[in-house]
Amino acid sequence: GAGVSQSPRYKVAKRGQDVALRCDPISGHVSLFWYQQALGQGPEFLTYFQNEAQLDKSGLPSDRFFAERPEGSVSTLKIQRTQQEDSAVYLCASSLIRLLTYEQYFGPGTRLTVT
């Protein structure tokens, strides 16, 4: 079946531009996560949605980062006034959050390069 998809796969932005990254989770998955993976590092948690509710945004690095999931399916991560330190791969994951499994299914990521 279809997995998690993300678009665009690659994005180059000039410093100061705004970008929007899209995530289509697996159909029926109520939970959605965003992670940031810097070069040579493991992914780091950014934010979490259950349906349309953003229950945790503690990992967002600054107020330039904003995420939404208005209808409880597709999600968009928006970065305003991009900076060079925002260059990273942004990963989206979705999950059913069954008790004792917590398995998250990851998309291929969007590689953002800020020049």
Partner 1 sequence: AQSVTQLDSHVSVSEGTPVLLRCNYSSSYSPSLFWYVQHPNKGLQLLLKYTSAATLVKGINGFEAEFKKSETSFHLTKPSAHMSDAAEYFCVVSDRSGGSNYKLTFGKGTLLTVNP
Of the candidates 1, 28, 40, 70, which one interacts with partner 1 according to CB under 8 A? 40
| Rounded CA separation 41/37 (Å) | 6
Q: Which residues contact 38 (CB under 8 A, 6 or more apart)?
A: 44, 87, 88
Q: Which of residues 73-92 bind partner 1 (CB under 8 A)?
A: 91
- Taking CB under 8 A as the criterion, the residue among 107, 110, 112, 114 binding partner 1 is 107
Phi/psi for 84 (5° steps) reads -60, -35
Query: And the tokens for 76?
Result: 């968009």
How far is residue 113's CA from residue 12's CA, in Å, rounded to a whole number? 5
Contacting range for partner 1; rule: CB under 8 A; set: 16-24, 67-75, 76-84, 106-114? 106-114
Nearest CB to partner 1, comparing residues 16 and 51: 51
Judged by CB under 8 A, which of 95, 110, 112, 114 binds partner 1?
A: 95
User: What is the identity of the amino acid at 31?
Assistant: S
- Residues at the site binding partner 1, with contacts judged by CB under 8 A: 3-4, 31, 33, 35, 40-45, 48, 56, 91, 93, 95, 97, 100-109
